[in-house]
């Protein structure tokens, strides 16, 4: 079995754990101190993300620090409108409200460190 798991870098992993839980509905499943700060994992449905602070390597920084994002996270959810409302209520920066793109109803949002997320509901 193969599995692809995004590994995101945040300035403050505990703050990211709290924010991703409130805004996106992720659930923390693990956190572990490391020499560079902290490693943590969260789940959303059956999907997992990992995160760290990247302090030991200056190249591993979040978009809010670097000024650019080289990738985003694409997530399928059952109810995009409700998910978008939850993210807005938590203060998330909504870049595009839910819209039909042919492959599904999608909205685009930035997290607390500038990572782009694309939440989609299948047609």
pTM: 0.90
Domain over 7-55+71-121 is classified CATH 3.90.320.10: no
For residues 9-22, b (16+ Cβ closer than 10 Å) or e, as one string? bbbebeebbebbee
Residues in the chain: 123
Which tops the pLDDT comparison, 102 or 54?
Answer: 102
Q: Is the model's pLDDT at 63 over the cut of 90?
A: no
Neighbours of 1 (CB within 10 A): 2
> Among residues of the chain, what percentage have pLDDT more than 70?
96
CA separation for the pair 28, 51 (Å, rounded): 11
Residue matched to tokens 């694309």: 118
- Percent of the chain having pLDDT more than 90? 74
Domain boundaries, the chain: 7-55+71-121
Q: 3-state SS of the chain: helix, strand, coil percent to 5?
A: 20, 40, 40
């Amino acid at each position: 079995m193969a599995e692809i798991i995004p590994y995101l870098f945040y300035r403050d992993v505990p703050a990211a754990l709290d924010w991703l839980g409130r805004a996106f509905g992720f659930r923390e499943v693990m956190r572990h101190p490391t020499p560079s700060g902290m490693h943590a994992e969260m789940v959303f449905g059956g999907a997992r993300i990992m995160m760290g602070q990247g302090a030991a390597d200056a190249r591993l920084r979040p978009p809010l620090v670097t000024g650019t994002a080289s990738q985003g996270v694409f997530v399928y959810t059952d109810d995009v409108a409700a998910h978008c409302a939850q993210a807005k209520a938590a203060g998330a920066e909504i870049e595009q409200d839910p819209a039909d793109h042919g492959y599904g109803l999608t909205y685009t949002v930035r997290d607390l460190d500038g990572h782009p997320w694309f939440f989609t509901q299948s047609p």
